[in-house]
Each structure stands twice: as C-alpha cells, then as structure tokens.
C-alpha cells in the first residue's frame, strides 16, 4: 500500500525515541504491521476491515479515532495521533497486536470506550510523543448472560448500557452494580472500580467480578487461574492500561426488585439549597437505607427571585430499590429537609431506571442502550475529583458557590458512599476509598472554543485549591477513572518519574499503590504497558523489602 514518505519523515522529526527496527521507519509500516498480525493470529482479516491509517484511508482513520472519544481537547490537529488504528475482531488479534507492537518497538495504547478524561487511551500527553499504535476494542462486545449461574461474560468493548440491556432481556430481577453513564466501555470502566447507583447495596462493579480474560505482556491469554490472585487483584480497580489488555470480565449478577423508584428534585439557593446540602452530607452515607442512592447534580440556573441573575441549582437524583411508599417513610424519617412527596417519585423497572438515571427521557426505549450513544455531544472539558470525609460547613459551601458562579459552564456531581462501600476493606481490591467516605465529588468545566482552554483549566484548578480545606488528607484522595494529569505532573507533560508517580499513586490507591507496583514489576518487568499514569515498575531491585522503602 502506498503512503506519503514526506508525511512519515516529518512526523518522525518530532519523535525523541530513535531505536526502532527499520520497518517501523519505512513508508510501509502499515503493510508490515498487517503482515505481522496475520502471521501471529489464527483468524484471517482483510486490511480494510480492521486497519485504519492516516496515510492510506484518512477519512476512515479520523472517523474511527473520533468515534468514541468524548473530549475534544484530544482531537485537535496538534494532538499526537497513532501510526495506525487496529480494531481486533477476535481474541487472537489482540495477542498478535501485543507481539507486533513489541517487535516494532512502538508503544501501544488501548481503548474500550473512549471516555478517558485525559485522552491517554488514544493519544499521548507527552510533549515529545513516541510513535504508538491504537488498539480499539469496540468490535469485541459480546455479552453472554447465564441466569442459572447469576453471572455473565462480557467483552471489553461492550458498553455498560449493552450489558444492562442483555441482562434485562434474560431476567427482570437481576442487574449489575456499575456505572450511570451507559456509553462507557465496560473494559476500562471496571479496571478503575466502576461505581454506580447500586454501590451502597452491592459495592462496585469491580467488587462483583469473579473472573477475567487478559492478554499479558508476552501475548498470552490468561484467566484468573492462570494469572494468579495477585494479578487478578490488580486489574480490578488498579486502573487501565498498566497490566495487559483486558478481553472480558465474568461478572456476578445481583438481585433487583421488579419495581424500583426514582426521583429528581431540584433546589436552588433561593430554596434553601445550602442548608439542604449540608444535611445531605450528614445522612447520605450512614443514615439512609442501603437501598437508597441519592446523588447531587450541581449546576447554574437562572434565578427566579432576581431577573437576569444566575444562581446555583442542586438536583437530588435518586434510585431506590423498592416502592414509593417505603421510600417516603425513609425520607420522612432521615432526610425530611428535602421535602420529598409521592408526586416527585416514579416507579419503574430496573432497566427503565438505568435510562432515567443516565439522564434520558423516560419515554426512551431500552433498545436505545444498544446504540452506545452518550447523553451529551463531544466537548472540551477538564475534570478533577475529591473524596469528602467530614461534612463541609455551610460557610464553606457559600464560598464554593461564589467560585462556582464565576465559571461559564461549571458542573459538579456528589456521589454518596456508605452502606456496602463502608463494609468492604480498603485492601480487598486496589480501589481504596471505603469506610469513612461521605461522598466523592467530581468537578467539571466545559467549553466550545479551543482557544479558551487555559481560562477554564485555571478556573477548575482554583476551585480544586479552594476545596483542599475540606477534602480528605494524607493523602488527598482522587478517583483513577477521573484521570487527572495535574497530579504529579512533570515538565514534559506527563509522569515519567517513579518518585513522581508516588504522588498520584497514593491519591488514587492509598496504601494499595505499593502492592500494585510490586505486581506490575512481576508481570510486566519491561514496562511494555505504559502511559502517562500507568503503574510503574520498581526502579531497582535487591533492597530486601520488595521495594517498600521507596514509598516512604
């Protein structure tokens, strides 16, 4: 296949790495990679069906690159692009991809859903990026539900919505406790933990995984028995892109009532929102029934009291695993400040509640979940996260509102913890944010014009600085699936230092980071699966304690 020599030469002028096999630097990279895949997999594959090159089929390449990517910040012309996009059709293609990228000496990026907040699953945040191939798992999306076993095997490229729909097809009283955003790819979602509206009753999605299939750094496909318990522990909440390429999860299904109840109740500052939110912090985690999940969506709105004035609106968005009558009894006893009435509530099936909680109109048919479409259009955004362990006083909330109203399109989501989340030990899986957490806060800002980035990024960093007085400490915790490259940033646009990685490693994983590094060093000693915040390998060995002194 022909390609532009000048384009290849120009692109490699900006590459800092120099030790590549000759065929990587040739104009026929995609030809050689295709031949390598064909030789190392047991299923033939037409080039046009699964290989997308910026030099031979640019329109298809751009379409696939942009297909699931949600953050426009990483789709700008200046963003680092892959040499090639490969969309495997069978597991052996993934094995071959590992073998062939290693042979080529290029990096590998892996994408299952495209919701990566910092784009590192399909681009590079480095100022001098090395060449890389993108493996997009979107065509590996099978879901096999076994009602008799209360389990399902789900391939990494399936969306959460697809998984929910396939479960509901087989049973009206089984579900799975994972995310609220139905267009998430389940492969990467569970690698970070996978929280959702049933977490207070059943824990995280990662807490309910019983087996997995993964391609390791040597190209082998391993299940739980073959990988061993340390490896299996690490991939359930240890973050994506560090240990291998996740092919499929085996998940435990959980019982759900035939009828559940939902509500969305807005309250503005003029409607006593500050006092209500302060009380919510006191009851949401450890005073409310485990069957009740009430998150708070916070945005701006037009004031009804003063024309032309903006105000803060808090919306209490809930799922209750039961009927309205019992829900009202719980709310009247534990959270009467919200003033919930039966008219605010809607009873429906669990699969209908999935659509409701995701923000779609109630009239949306469940089949819509098979389309994998996100609720909002692509935009530029930046996000951060915090965990709150002590209620933020009303004075602190008032200061937060002042900063919040300075931004054009600010948004926050406060997710309650407690219940089962407080009962599972911090070390059970790498996700450590458990007992004592009141809620997790996600901060977001979005903008349309590319040139506005710095203004909005500066704003959210300022907001994050303000919230430092109220967030968890030692460490200030963060959620790995809300990837934030500000944490432990170096001057090269990413984290390449082991000791810098301890900064974000402790925030994401607390004490579990040490064990993750030890597992990584064992299963991928050459650090083949690398990105800007992948788990690092130990920089040296032989200190007699497995490297633990490096963390203190």
Domain of 85, CATH number, reads 3.30.43.10
Domain end position, chosen among 136, 156, 186? 136
Whether residue 131 sits in one domain with residue 27: yes
Domain carrying residue 523: 498-551
CATH number at residue 150: 3.30.465.10
Mean pLDDT of 362-366: 93
Q: Are 247 and 337 in contact (CB under 8 A)?
A: no
Q: Are residues 323 and 453 in the same domain?
A: yes
CA–CA gap between residue 20 and residue 474 (Å, rounded): 43
Lowest model confidence (mean pLDDT) among 66-75, 98-107, 121-130, 210-219: 121-130
Give per-residue pLDDT as tens, 306-331.
787 999 999 999 999 999 999 999 99
pLDDT-derived band at 546, boundaries 50, 70, 90: low
pLDDT of residue 547: 58
Q: For residue 410, is it within any domain?
A: yes
Could you tell me if 461 and 502 lie in one domain? no
Residues 225, 332: one domain?
A: no
Residue 437 resides in a domain: yes
Region of 337 (left: φ > 0; alpha: ψ -120 to 50; beta: rest) is: alpha
pTM of the model: 0.92
Residues 170 and 100 occupy one common structural domain: no
**143-196: per-residue pLDDT in tens?**
999 999 999 999 999 999 999 999 999 999 999 999 999 999 999 999 999 999
Distance of CA 31 to the CA centre of its chain: 33
Closest CA relative to residue 63, chosen from 72, 55, 52? 52
Q: Which residues are catalytic?
A: 482
175, 192 Cβ separation under 8 angstroms: no
At 373, the pLDDT band (50, 70, 90 cuts) reads confident
Q: 301-305, 500-504, 527-531: lowest mean pLDDT where?
A: 301-305
For residues 178 and 239, membership in a common domain is answered with yes
Whether 279 and 417 map to the same domain: the answer is yes
Q: Domain containing 274 — which CATH number?
A: 3.40.462.20
Residues 337 and 433 in one domain: yes
On whether residue 355 sits in a domain, the answer given is no
Res 405: pLDDT: 97
Compute the average pLDDT of residues 265-271: 97
Q: What is the pLDDT of residue 549?
A: 57
Indicate if 293 and 420 belong to the same structural domain. Answer: yes
Residue 18 has pLDDT above 70, yes or no: no
Omega of the bond prior to 217 within 30 degrees of 0, cis? no
Same domain, residue pair 22 and 69: yes
282 has a pLDDT exceeding 60: yes
- Which carries the bigger pLDDT value, residue 541 or residue 485? 485
Q: What is the pLDDT of residues 446-473, one digit of tens each?
A: 999 878 999 999 999 999 999 999 999 9
For residue 111, give the nearest of 134, 130, 88, 139 by alpha carbon: 134
User: What is the average pLDDT across 12-20?
Assistant: 33
Q: What is the pLDDT of residue 10?
A: 26
Instruction: Please name the residues in contact with 88: beta carbons below 8 A apart, sequence gap of 6 or more.
Output: 50, 94, 97, 135, 137, 139, 140
Asked whether residue 209 falls in the same domain as residue 232, the answer is yes
| Structural contact between residues 507 and 495, judged by C-beta atoms closer than 8 angstroms | no
- For residue 364, tell me if it sits in a domain: no
* pLDDT for 17 beyond 60: no
- 3-class state of residue 250 by DSSP: strand
Domain membership flag for residue 488: no
Using the 3D structure, point to which of 198, 224, 255 is the last residue of a domain: 255
Could you tell me which residue, 547 or 66, shows the higher pLDDT? 66
Residue 367 lies in a domain: no
Mean pLDDT, to the nearest integer, of 492-496?
A: 47
Burial 254-288 (b: 16+ CB within 10 A, else e): bebbebbbbbebebbbebebbebbbbbbebbbeeb
Q: In whole angstroms, give the CA distance from residue 139 to residue 132.
A: 20
Number of compact structural domains in the chain: 4
pLDDT beyond 50 at 12? no
Please determine, for residue 127, whether its predicted confidence score (pLDDT) is greater than 80. Answer: no
Judge whether 373 lies within some domain: no
**Which neighbouring-strand residues pair with 211?**
250
d(C-alpha 155, C-alpha 176), whole Å: 15
Judge if 48 and 22 occupy the same domain: yes
Residue 372 lies inside a defined structural domain of this protein: no
pLDDT band at 483 (very low <50, low <70, confident <90, very high): very high
pLDDT confidence bin for 497, thresholds 50/70/90: confident
State residue 56's pLDDT score: 81
- Domain stop point among 136, 155, 176: 136
Q: Are 64 and 52 in contact (CB under 8 A)?
A: yes
pLDDT band at 490 (very low <50, low <70, confident <90, very high): low
């Amino acid at each position: 296949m022909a390609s532009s020599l000048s384009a290849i030469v120009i692109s490699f002028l900006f590459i800092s790495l120099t030790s590549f096999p000759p065929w990587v630097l040739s104009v026929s990279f995609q030809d050689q990679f295709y031949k390598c895949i064909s030789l190392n997999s047991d299923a033939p594959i037409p080039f046009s069906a699964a290989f997308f090159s910026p030099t031979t089929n640019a329109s298809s390449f751009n379409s696939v690159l942009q297909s699931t990517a949600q953050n426009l910040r990483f789709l700008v012309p200046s963003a680092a692009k892959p040499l090639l996009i490969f969309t495997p059709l069978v597991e052996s293609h993934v094995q071959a991809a590992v073998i062939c990228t290693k042979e080529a000496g290029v990096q590998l990026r892996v994408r299952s859903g495209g919701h990566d907040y910092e784009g590192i699953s399909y681009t590079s945040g480095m100022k001098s990026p090395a060449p890389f191939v993108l493996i997009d798992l979107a065509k590996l999306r099978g879901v096999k539900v076994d009602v008799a076993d209360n389990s399902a095997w789900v391939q990494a490229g399936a969306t959460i919505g697809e998984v929910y729909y396939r479960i509901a097809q087989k049973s009206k009283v089984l579900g799975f406790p994972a995310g609220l955003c139905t267009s998430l790819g389940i492969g990467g979602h569970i690698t970070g933990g996978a929280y959702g509206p049933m977490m207070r009753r059943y824990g995280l999605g990662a807490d309910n995984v019983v087996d997995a299939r993964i391609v390791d750094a040597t190209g082998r496909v391993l299940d739980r028995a073959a990988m061993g318990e340390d490896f299996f522990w690490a991939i359930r909440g240890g973050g994506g892109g560090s240990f291998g390429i996740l092919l499929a999860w085996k998940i435990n299904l959980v019982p759900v009532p035939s009828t559940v109840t939902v509500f969305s109740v807005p309250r503005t500052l003029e409607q006593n929102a500050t006092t209500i939110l302060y009380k919510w912090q006191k009851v949401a985690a450890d005073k409310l029934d485990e069957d009740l999940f009430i998150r708070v969506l916070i945005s701006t709105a037009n004031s009804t009291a003063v024309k032309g004035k903006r105000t803060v609106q808090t919306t209490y968005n809930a799922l209750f695993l039961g009927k309205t009558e019992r829900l009202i009894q719980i709310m009247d006893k534990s959270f009467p400040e919200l003033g919930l009435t039966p008219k605010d509530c809607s009873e429906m099936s669990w699969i209908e509640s999935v659509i409701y909680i995701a923000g779609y109109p109630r009239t949306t048919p469940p089949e819509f979940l098979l389309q994998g479409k996100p609720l909002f259009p692509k935009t530029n955004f930046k996000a951060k996260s915090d965990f709150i362990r002590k209620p933020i006083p009303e004075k602190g909330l008032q200061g937060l509102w002042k900063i919040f109203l300075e931004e054009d399109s600010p948004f926050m989501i406060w997710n309650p913890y407690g219940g089962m989340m407080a009962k599972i030990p911090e070390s059970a899986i790498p996700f450590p944010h458990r007992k004592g957490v009141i809620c997790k806060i996600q901060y977001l800002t979005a903008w349309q014009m590319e040139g506005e980035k710095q203004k909005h990024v500066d704003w959210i960093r300022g907001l994050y600085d303000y919230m430092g007085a109220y967030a968890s400490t030692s460490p200030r915790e963060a959620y790995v699936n809300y990837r934030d490259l500000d944490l432990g940033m170096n001057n090269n646009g990413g984290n390449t230092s082991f000791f810098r990685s301890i900064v974000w490693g402790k925030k994401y994983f607390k004490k579990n980071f040490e064990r993750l590094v030890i597992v990584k060093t064992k299963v991928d000693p050459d650090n083949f699966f690398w990105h800007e915040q992948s788990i690092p390998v130990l920089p040296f060995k032989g200190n007699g304690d497995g490297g633990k002194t490096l963390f203190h």
